[in-house]
Chains A and B, each alone.
Chain A
Amino acid sequence: MGGEFFYRLVFTGLSAVTLASALVVVSSRNLVRSAFALLFTLGGIAGIYVYLAADFLAATQLLVYVGGILVLILFGVMLTNKIVSVELYQGSARVGRSILLFAGLLYVLFSVFFNTEWRLRGRPEMESTVESIGTLFMTDFLLPFEVVSILLLAALIGAVLIARHEVRGK
């Protein structure tokens, strides 16, 4: 079926975009470029969520991660632009061992993931998860839900405090 093929093609494209952007994120010398690449990475991940039948999550990802966190990072980048306009040069020794770490991690994780026999459930239906998630939040996961909201509040206040303190301190 053509649909099958298309299905797979898009997925491949999404993955490629995600991974390529991630690569740019980690290796670009230009911080802004790096931040924008992160945008694409996060977007790609949202698409992958869709393929995993996590529609609500995908939306949340786009809204919060891309729309919030990324924006925040971009602000941060822009604000500290004058400091980092000079491209920072990485120490080559550091790169070396970091690549070593990278390779090692890949190897280990790959060998774990692809050699383990996961107990698969078979291919379930693709259905909307919004209702389910909402129900779960209000029932089984109510407490974490509330705690998280307080935590957000605390983080907010804390962040403001930290940043503002400095301005005051000057």
Chain B
Amino acid sequence: MSILDPTNLNAYLFVSTVLFALGSYAIVSRRNAVSVLMGIELVLNSANVNFVAFSRFTATDLRGQLFAIFVIILAAAEAAVALAIILAIYHNFNTIDVNEIDSLRD
């Protein structure tokens, strides 16, 4: 627990890393498409945390934060589109099990 020192960069890096790993895990292993989307959000957020942490501890300006804002905006757009796609897939395949959606298969 000594790693969780808010005055130290490492703490924030720890959090973002774990979030990233968890998010990746979710992307790769979850069967539900929405779950995969959630994993994506986790990954984005972990990147954001990274940006802001570095902005605070190593940068002289606020670019990191600004970039994080942009990320949030784009995440929003992306989430909307993703959900629309998921709906479309459901209508076409009658399922949102990613295992079943393999039309690109050889």
**Partner-B contacts on A (CB < 8 A):** 7-8, 11-12, 15, 18-19, 22-23, 25-26, 31, 34-35, 38, 41-42, 45, 48-49, 51-54, 56-57, 60-61, 64-65, 68-69, 72-73, 75-77, 79-80, 83-84, 88-91, 94-95, 97-99, 101-102, 105-106, 109-110, 113-114, 118-121, 123-124, 129, 132-133, 136-137, 141, 144, 148, 151-152, 155-156, 158-163, 165-167, 169-170
Contact = CB atoms under 8 A, between A and B. Distances in A.
Contacts of B76: 64-65, 68-69, 152
Interface residues on B, range: 35 or more
A152 B77 contact: yes
Given A88-B31, A136-B62, A159 B83 contact: yes
B15 A48 contact: yes
Nearest to A160: B84
A99 B70 CA distance: 31
14 contacts: A8-B5, A22-B18, A22-B42, A26-B26, A52-B52, A54-B52, A73-B79, A106-B21, A118-B57, A120-B9, A136-B66, A158-B84, A163-B87, A166-B91
Given A26-B23, A26-B35, 8 more contacts: A8-B6, A15-B4, A15-B15, A72-B80, A73-B79, A98-B25, A101-B25, A129-B62
Nearest to A49: B52
Given A11-B11, A114-B10, A38 B38 contact: yes
B37 to A, nearest CB: 7
B32 A101 contact: no
Contacts of B74: 148, 151
B10 A133 contact: no
B81 A48 contact: no
